[in-house]
Amino acid sequence: MTRETRFGALAADARWQAAWESANSFATTETGDAKDSGRPKAYILEMFPYPSGRIHMGHVRNYAMGDVLARFKRMTGHDVLHPMGWDAFGMPAENAAMEKGVHPNGWTRANIDAMRGQLKRLGLAIDWTRELATCDADYYGQEQALFLDLFAAGLVTRKESYVNWDPVDMTVLANEQVIDGRGWRSGALVEKKKLSQWFLKITDFADELLEGLKSLDQWPDKVRLMQENWIGKSQGLEFSFRLAGGAPGFDVFTTRPDTLYGASFAAISPDHPLAERLAKDSPELAVFIAECRRQGTSAEQLETAEKLGFDTGLAVEHPLDPDWHLPVWVVNYVLMDYGTGAIFGCPAHDQRDLDFARKYDLAVHRVIADGDEDGQVFHGDEAYVGTGRLVNSHFLNGMGIDEAKAAVIARAEHEGWGKGTTVWRLRDWGVSRQRYWGTPIPFIHCPACGLVPVPKGQLPIVLPEDADFSVPGNPLDRHPTWKHTSCPSCGGEALRETDTLDTFVDSSWYFLRFASAPADKPFDPAVIARWLPVDQYIGGIEHAILHLLYARFWTRALQRIGMVDIKEPFASLFTQGMVTHETYSRAQGEGLPPLYFTPDEVTRTAEGATLDADGAPVEVGRVIKMSKSKKNVVDPDAILDQYGADAARWFMLSDSPPERDLPWSEAGIEGAWRFVQRLWRLFGESENTGDGGEDIALARKLHRAIAVVAADIEALGFNKAVAKIHALANDIEKAEPSATRAEACATLILLVAPMMPHLAEEAWAGLPDARRTTDLVADAAWPAVNPALLADDEVTIVIQVAGKRRDEITLAKGLDKEAVEAAALARPRIAELLGGAAPKKVIVVPDRLVNIVP
């Protein structure tokens, strides 16, 4: 067979993908247990995609990274689990059903088929036998079983509550899914609606989920911090105010019980039951409350919102001095759904209270002083929130803040009017969705027996195939027959629950099902124990809170009921950056949005860009995340057709650090393509041994590259690994033919194999048998490093004079300081600079540099 002078990527991609498939190369080695196989396990997982229909460049980047790691782990002797599946339930399928009249199942399955095909073209080392879609009855039936287990354990509740109702999607949203008062998917303004809802008691785990973050030392600090803020633990005092006259009042929560003597008013939320009660007899208050509710919740509105209040005329007794009465106001800045919906106002030491007090001319008393400022009247418009000592506070005077907090709590508990308590920002997870395309909640409403769990033997509760999607609302609820059933308990007529589960439930345990998927139960705990936790999880930062917090909760919930013995599902998390592209647009005149063009429609030059259709310039905009609306998208299929999988993968891994955004460019992919071809030519020289001699300098470079590339891949520093491989290729090309050079060419195949697997296979197949340890490079081992070749025996030492680089010498490695110093001072150039004078001081850093202070 004569060797092609160009690497034919398209044919090679197909050839090797077929070869891997028929050799079953990426099937998981079931032992997965160092005890049995002697090999460590590596569970490499990328967040599974939603089957929207087409993959995008973000997927390519995400899966290329995971794939490099999975292939590298195989090469370094691990049993690897690297699966793929589909987060297949959710709104878009139902929207498609409504808009195009296709069934959600058919739409979803077709999308999965299309995307699977696209992913396979990337040549991913995935064990496709473990593929799952969350809309498989196999999968969601087991999810129903888990839901029943959690119910039995008291971790599922049903409560009547105000919910976030998305009027466009006609569904309920979790708090986390409401962004600036709008639905995260539809963008519609969210309304408050009272409904009976299913909840998972994530708040039971608030403390554990917070504490657990400390153990996740291989997670980005940023994500841990975001979760910590989300959980929002505050410790303080909860106490009751009595209305003056002795009538029962209301409870307040504060994190600053130390400032109680600085109180000058009490404030309740417009949604507080007391405010609502008072409003019945006060039309003015009713008007005020209505205005507060109209007030928006978006960032800008809150920023500029004025503190407004309504004096109820009521007064409450100060808990530490019953003769001291505080006026009760209804104010717009106290939220009903945090703490108790009521506070005491201490204007001197809380900015919001101070703004409010200044507006309504209320007393402002200093109770914390950081120096000699101890007058009772507080001046200025900036609250003092720093440290200090208590003043004007009777028995607290002179105490530090923490001491005073403890003293007030102790006194409250002793006298019985309050207690130390912890308040969380985290709410229970509302999982009810009034949708068709989700996991049916396995419960039955019986008029006689009430709420009855579906017996496990009757699972899965399958979605009906015939459903009407022509109008908004829940197709399950209006289905003519599906919800009618009999009660498992009394046998009488009963109705099925028609809510389905939030899709974040589906993604809270898919990583377990990948590891173990028996037919008769959700998973086999013994197999889970072998594979979990996931060793490397890779996905977008957009899941920092929702998905990752829910999955952590679900895992802990399963641990509590004894089904798994891990607390945290993901040992190491990596959040990759987005793929971005510049935009091309033309202004369309006043008031109109600009007209955007796709990269295909435009010719880009160094100076600017012109539209192919008319040859006139278009405006080159900022580099931003690829999005359909800005038309700055590049279709992976087109790239694969033109350049093949390896060039696409290589470019995705080059240049930008993986956690940062990657600017896509035509020049960049061209560069990757050229490098693929260059390597192909280089690999072709692998048998050119010249005179057969050794090239020790090249051998050193080779072995250093083997070690450094391995370390870079291990640390997910793909851009650095790419740079090192480039440098090594340069070095090999410059070297004269030799046995070492031939060996280096062959070894380079292995170094690029995780990133460019098709090219590697093609080149590997061209090697003589003597050089090939395995038929497929996919089964080959990572090259061994010869430690003796890692270090040079000579080093270049820089000579500085007064901290400035003036000269350099090459010396044997490991010389002692005196010898290095003498060698440096002996240099004519250094002697000249010193002008004959003895140096004041000489610093020698072994094998690195000499700094001479004249």
Partner RNA sequence: GCGGACGUGGCGGAACCGGUAGACGCAGCAGACUUAAAAUCUGCUAUCCAUUUGGGUGUGCGGGUUCGAGUCCCGCCGUCCGCACCA
Contacting RNA (CB under 7 A), which of 53, 92, 621, 668? 668
CB under 7 A: which stretch of 113-121, 231-239, 558-566, 637-645 binds RNA? 231-239
CB of 843 to RNA, least distance (A): 4
Report the 10 Å Cβ neighbour count for 390. 24
CB of 99 to RNA, least distance (A): 29
Report the 10 Å Cβ neighbour count for 411. 18
Edge-to-edge strand list for the sheet holding 804-812 = 804-812, 794-801, 849-853, 841-845
CB of 396 to RNA, least distance (A): 16
CB under 7 A: which stretch of 66-74, 659-667, 749-757, 819-827 binds RNA? 659-667
Query: What is the per-residue binding string for RNA in 807-846, x denoting contact by CB under 7 A?
Result: -x--------------------------------x-x-x-
Nearer to RNA, 293 or 456 (CB): 293
Nearer to RNA, 334 or 368 (CB): 334
Element (H, E) at 418: strand 418-424
> Facing residues of 798 across strands?
808, 849
Query: What is the per-residue binding string for RNA in 122-161, x denoting contact by CB under 7 A?
Result: ----------------------------------------
Within residues 581-610, the interface with RNA by CB under 7 A covers: 606
CB of 700 to RNA, least distance (A): 15
The beta strands (E) that lie in 245-377 are given as: 250-254, 265-268, 309-318, 321-331, 342-345, 368-369
Determine the Cα–Cα distance for residues 329 and 269; give it in Å rounded to an integer.
9
Nearer to RNA, 266 or 564 (CB): 266
The verdict on whether residue 628 carries a ligand-binding annotation is: yes
Contacting RNA (CB under 7 A), which of 53, 92, 594, 663? 663
Determine the Cα angle at 480 with ends 478 and 486, to 5°.
105
The rounded Cα 483 to chain-centroid distance in angstroms is 38
Nearer to RNA, 303 or 520 (CB): 303
CB under 7 A: which stretch of 22-30, 275-283, 365-373, 668-676 binds RNA? 668-676
Contacting RNA (CB under 7 A), which of 168, 189, 226, 707? 226
Contacting RNA (CB under 7 A), which of 108, 498, 508, 665? 665
CB under 7 A: which stretch of 61-69, 163-171, 232-240, 591-599 binds RNA? 232-240
CB of 425 to RNA, least distance (A): 4
Contacts of 183 (CB under 8 A, 6+ apart): 164, 166, 168, 169, 173, 177, 190
- Cβ distance 695 to 738 under 8 Å? yes
CB of 593 to RNA, least distance (A): 19
Q: Which residue has the tokens 């900015």?
A: 351
Torsion of CA 136, 140, 141, 143, to 10 degrees: 150
The rounded Cα 49 to chain-centroid distance in angstroms is 14
Q: Which residue has the tokens 């109702």?
A: 165
How many helices and strands, by DSSP H and E, does the chain display?
Answer: 26, 37
Query: What is the per-residue binding string for RNA in 35-74, x denoting contact by CB under 7 A?
Result: ----------------------------------------
Contacting RNA (CB under 7 A), which of 201, 521, 678, 827? 678
Within residues 325-364, the interface with RNA by CB under 7 A covers: 332-336, 338-341, 343, 350-352
Within residues 739-768, the interface with RNA by CB under 7 A covers: none
Contacting RNA (CB under 7 A), which of 152, 225, 462, 812? 225
Q: Does 726 sit near RNA (CB under 7 A)?
A: yes
Q: Does 4 sit near RNA (CB under 7 A)?
A: no
CB of 386 to RNA, least distance (A): 11
Q: Does 722 sit near RNA (CB under 7 A)?
A: yes
- Cβ distance 777 to 750 under 8 Å? yes
Determine the Cα angle at 225 with ends 622 and 627, to 5°.
25
Contacting RNA (CB under 7 A), which of 54, 116, 307, 586? 307
Nearer to RNA, 309 or 442 (CB): 309
Nearer to RNA, 812 or 845 (CB): 845
Which sign does the torsion angle of CA 92, 93, 96, 97 carry? negative
Within residues 250-279, the interface with RNA by CB under 7 A covers: 253-256, 269
CB of 740 to RNA, least distance (A): 19
Nearer to RNA, 590 or 607 (CB): 607
Which tokens hold the place of 687?
């048998």
Nearer to RNA, 185 or 567 (CB): 185
Contacting RNA (CB under 7 A), which of 670, 685, 775, 792? 670
Identify residue 96 by its one-letter amino acid code.
Answer: A
Q: Which residue has the tokens 């028995």?
A: 395
User: Interhelix angle for 757-765 vs 739-752, to 10°?
Assistant: 140
CB of 223 to RNA, least distance (A): 9
Contacting RNA (CB under 7 A), which of 11, 110, 638, 802? 802
Q: Does 685 sit near RNA (CB under 7 A)?
A: no
CB under 7 A: which stretch of 153-161, 387-395, 552-560, 675-683 binds RNA? 675-683
CB under 7 A: which stretch of 50-58, 512-520, 626-634, 665-673 binds RNA? 665-673
* Pairing outcome for strands 617-625 and 804-812: unpaired
CB of 613 to RNA, least distance (A): 23
Within residues 419-438, the interface with RNA by CB under 7 A covers: 423, 425
| SS3 per residue for 143-164 | HHHHHHHHHHCCCEEEEEEEEE
Nearer to RNA, 338 or 417 (CB): 338
- Show contacts of 13-16: CB within 8 Å, 24+ apart: 13/121, 13/123, 13/640, 13/644, 13/645, 13/646, 13/758, 15/758, 15/762, 16/123, 16/757, 16/758, 16/761, 16/762
Identify residue 558 by its one-letter amino acid code.
Answer: L
> Facing residues of 537 across strands?
45, 573
Determine the Cα–Cα distance for residues 756 and 718; give it in Å rounded to an integer.
13
Determine the Cα–Cα distance for residues 269 and 613; give it in Å rounded to an integer.
60
Within residues 532-571, the interface with RNA by CB under 7 A covers: 541, 545
| Per-residue CA distances from 160 to 65, 122, 197, 692, 696 (Å) | 45, 48, 6, 82, 77
Maximum distance among all Cα pairs of the chain, rounded to whole angstroms: 109
Within residues 609-628, the interface with RNA by CB under 7 A covers: none
CB under 7 A: which stretch of 67-75, 636-644, 650-658, 689-697 binds RNA? 650-658
- Classified as helix, coil or strand, 257 is helix
Closest alpha carbon to 427 in 561, 307, 335: 335
Within residues 768-797, the interface with RNA by CB under 7 A covers: 796
- Classified as helix, coil or strand, 268 is strand
Nearer to RNA, 234 or 689 (CB): 234
Q: Does 194 sit near RNA (CB under 7 A)?
A: no
- Classified as helix, coil or strand, 230 is helix
CB under 7 A: which stretch of 65-73, 249-257, 311-319, 811-819 binds RNA? 249-257
Nearer to RNA, 572 or 719 (CB): 719
- Cβ distance 365 to 348 under 8 Å? yes
The binding site for ATP consists of 628
